[in-house]
Amino acid sequence: MTGDVTGELFPRPRAVVAPGAVHVPGWLSPERQRELVAVCRSWAAGPVPMRQTRLPRGGVMSVQTVCVGWHWRPYRYTREAGDVNGERVVDFPDWLGALGREALAAAYEGVEESESYAPDTALVNFYDGAARMGMHQDKDEKSRAPVVSLSIGDRCVFRFGNTEDRGRPYTDVELGSGDLFVFGGPSRLAYHAVPKVYAGTATPDSGMSRGRLNITLRETGLR
């Protein structure tokens, strides 16, 4: 039997998409994926429930989001979820910071930079078959430490662009269950999007029966 722990017959190699932007396919084992899905389910229940974020101009995001450590709403971080139920978001657990450091070391192939990485917020996004995310920068953090992104469940197209604007040049990367994507350094403020989710492609061993889960770890630089 060939193939790696993800069960893929032809494991996809680690790929540097742009300087500081690295895709590591199948980084999370199915067991770790299932553990993350279980804890995300508990976070989605409260104290601040998972919800569709309202945008200042009246729109509503199609993804559903729950935050850990700090609550994000467009376009700032607070401890309390004033746009949901006013409750304080759940504390950011130590093990999640350790997972972030491990992810950074894997993506950047070294521990040096990863040792000081101290993410203090996680945004957990759930995409049903119809959900999308438009081109945007993650720029509400004061820290410019890398963003660590973990994907579980349905496969998607992740569009990774440039730091100038929403247009080309960009690279479309397929993110599958267990994939890690890190963007830092010169790519930290690159525009990115999820233009398509392939509904029904989640495999049961991921712990997701349907939909796509994405967890991004970030350093807010706030205290």
Ligand X SMILES: O=C(O)CCC(=O)C(=O)O
What residue has token string 């991004």?
216
Peptide linkage before 25 cis (omega within 30 of 0): no
The residues near 34 (Cβ < 8 Å, ≥ 6 apart) are 205, 206, 207
Applying CB under 5 A, does 102 fall inside the site for Fe ion? no
Q: Which of 214, 217, 219, 220 binds ligand X (CB under 6 A)?
A: 214
Nearer to ligand X, 108 or 191 (CB): 191
Residue number closest to Fe ion, CB atom: 138
Nearer to ligand X, 22 or 194 (CB): 194
The three-class DSSP label of residue 195 is strand
Applying CB under 6 A, does 133 fall inside the site for ligand X? yes
Q: How many other C-beta atoms are found inside a 10 Å radius of the C-beta of residue 188?
A: 19
* Tokens, residue 14: 């680690």
Applying CB under 5 A, does 140 fall inside the site for Fe ion? no
Applying CB under 6 A, does 104 fall inside the site for ligand X? no
Is 136 labeled as ligand-binding?
Answer: yes
Choose from Fe ion, ligand X, none: what does 160 bind? Cβ within 5-8 Å by kind: none
Smallest gap from Cβ 148 to ligand X, in A, equals: 11
The residues near 107 (Cβ < 8 Å, ≥ 6 apart) are 14, 22, 24, 148, 180, 181, 182
Q: How far apart are CA 72 and CA 74, in angstroms?
A: 7
CB 192 within 8 A of CB 136: yes
Applying CB under 5 A, does 138 fall inside the site for Fe ion? yes
Choose from Fe ion, ligand X, none: what does 158 bind? Cβ within 5-8 Å by kind: ligand X
CB 44 within 8 A of CB 124: yes
Q: Which of 122, 192, 207, 220 binds ligand X (CB under 6 A)?
A: 192
Applying CB under 6 A, does 138 fall inside the site for ligand X? yes
Which strand (E) or helix (H) includes residue 103? helix 94-108
Smallest gap from Cβ 124 to ligand X, in A, equals: 9
Smallest gap from Cβ 29 to ligand X, in A, equals: 19
Q: Which of 216, 217, 219, 220 binds ligand X (CB under 6 A)?
A: 216
Angle at 90 between CA 84 and CA 93, to 5 degrees: 150
* Tokens, residue 85: 């139920």
Applying CB under 6 A, does 206 fall inside the site for ligand X? no
Binding stretches for ligand X (CB under 6 A): 123, 125, 133, 138, 149, 151, 158, 192, 194, 214, 216
Pick out the residues of the known binding site for Fe cation. Answer: 136, 138, 192
Binding-site annotation: residue ranges: 136, 138, 192
